[in-house]
Amino acid sequence: MGLTMETTVRSKYIGTLGVVMCCVVGLAVAALYRIEKISVEATAHAHRKLIAEQLAPIFERPLWSIDYPYVELMAHTVMRDPIFLCIVIQDEANFTKTFGTCGSSAAYERFAIPVIAGVPPRRFATVTADLDAAVDAAPVASLTGWRITVLAGSVAVTLAAAAAAFQALVGRPLQQVHASLRRFRETGERQSIQWSSRDDLGTFIDDYNAMLQLTQEKERALNAARSRSELALEDLKRAQAHLVQTEKLASLGSLVAGIAHEINTPIGAGVSVASTLSERVRVFRAVLDAGAMRKSTLQDFVGTVDEATGLLNRSLTTAHQLIQSFKRVAADQTSEARRSFDLALMLDEVLVTLRPQLKRADCAVDMQVPPGIVLDSYPGPLGQVITNLVTNAQIHAFDGQTGGHITISAIPEPTCVVLMVGDDGRGIEPDQLPRIFDPFYTTKLGAGGTGLGLSIVHSIVVKTLQGRIAVVSVPGRGTAFTMTLPVAIDETQPEETARVA
């Protein structure tokens, strides 16, 4: 900073005091000048009057003697004095003579002096004189000048004393306040002011120190609260991550249970066929050991074996397909590895694992995804999204209903794929629609809903799959989730901000 706070305040204080004092001094000088001028002018008037009155005795004898040449000689002698501008002499014999130029100066004073003589004394002549009044103004300026000098010195001394007093009484505490504020700005350290006085400034310093102490206490409390909040936030994040992982594992567990139930049918059929075939082999061996083998018996046995092996092959093939689909879906959902995959085949494998719960819910799925759409992305997270959306439709859209219908369709575009999952269920109320992606928001709290299904869907689509998700719903007519997914994941792209339509 070019000027400190104290310097600026002191400059304003001294400047204001100087202006005030100069005004006071100016008024005092003007008053003194007026008083001196009046005094000097009165003295000068008396002096001029005295000089003018001296003319009467000078001209009395020559005028009484009617000696006009001598009168003129004396008049010329008097006019040598520069104070006289003109002299006019008049007597009762009608003698009139003017010496000099009357009214030739802007400042003059005229005196008419009677000339008295005779017995008894009488006025027989008049001497009129114009005296220059400007000549007497110099003493006024001289007298006023030294007073101005004295006053100017007094002003300077007063200003210096005021500056010293300001520095001692105001400047020093202000410097401490400024230093305290600058230290806080630069280092964040708060320093109290060591100053005590019984005035407004002392009260200000006390309030400032009290504010510093209160601010420090509140800052310590705020830091402690922030630390507690950060710890609570970390705990919340860990709990949320744990709940999300639990939700994923619960979904995977549901898949395991469904696949186990689905595999039970072909495995059970295979066991039954194998048991029947074993019984027929035992009977065939007994006939063979007894030597009663006939062609018809052999033909029946071969036909039975052929039929049994066909049933075993179909049952084991079905079980094999179920196990392979489950292995791929489970591996994708647990590893979240990136790879290229056919969207239709991946969705078929996911729907195979969801078939048991769809059967129990009497829910049909119509997949309208053309083959050949290849994505370079994460099939596991995408499968988790489809699983959660289908499960959400079963729990919420078709709650208490049968014969629900879910449609999964895809429209390929040059750089992305528009994937839609819709249902014809009960729909979502308009006031609930903006919150369906919020964590832990559910309308089935305590009835199987965790509030994490759609939150996980939104997080996976936006962050992992680098896409967008929008939802449209009409109460009583159904809900449609539309996802726009890139054909290939950009590893350098940061996580997008959620955009929900």
SS3 for 256-296 is: HHHHHHHHHHHHHHHHHHHHHHHHHHHHHHHHHHHCCCCHH
Residue 461: what pLDDT?
92
Amino acid identity of residue 371, one-letter, is P
Residue-wise pLDDT tens digits, 277-299: 787 788 778 877 887 778 777 77
Q: Which fold has domain 5-156?
A: Beta-Lactamase (3.30.450)
Q: Say how far apart CA 360 and CA 354 lie, in whole Å.
A: 10
Angle among Cα 127, 132, 133 to the nearest 5 degrees reads 120
Mark the ranges of the chain whose per-residue pLDDT is less than 70: 1-14, 17-18, 29, 33, 135-147, 166-169, 171, 188, 190, 195, 199, 201, 240-265, 269-270, 311, 314-315, 317-336, 400, 441, 443-451, 493-501
Highest CATH level, class, for 340-501: alpha beta
pTM, entire model: 0.44
> Are 5-156 and 340-501 equal in CATH topology?
no
Angle among Cα 292, 295, 299 to the nearest 5 degrees reads 120
Q: Say how far apart CA 152 and CA 21 lie, in whole Å.
A: 10
The ranges assigned to domains in the chain are: 5-156, 340-501
Residue 486: what pLDDT?
94
Residue-wise pLDDT tens digits, 206-218: 777 778 778 878 8
Q: Say how far apart CA 498 and CA 419 lie, in whole Å.
A: 17
Question: Residues 450, 247: contact at Cβ < 8 Å?
Answer: yes
Residue 78: what pLDDT?
87
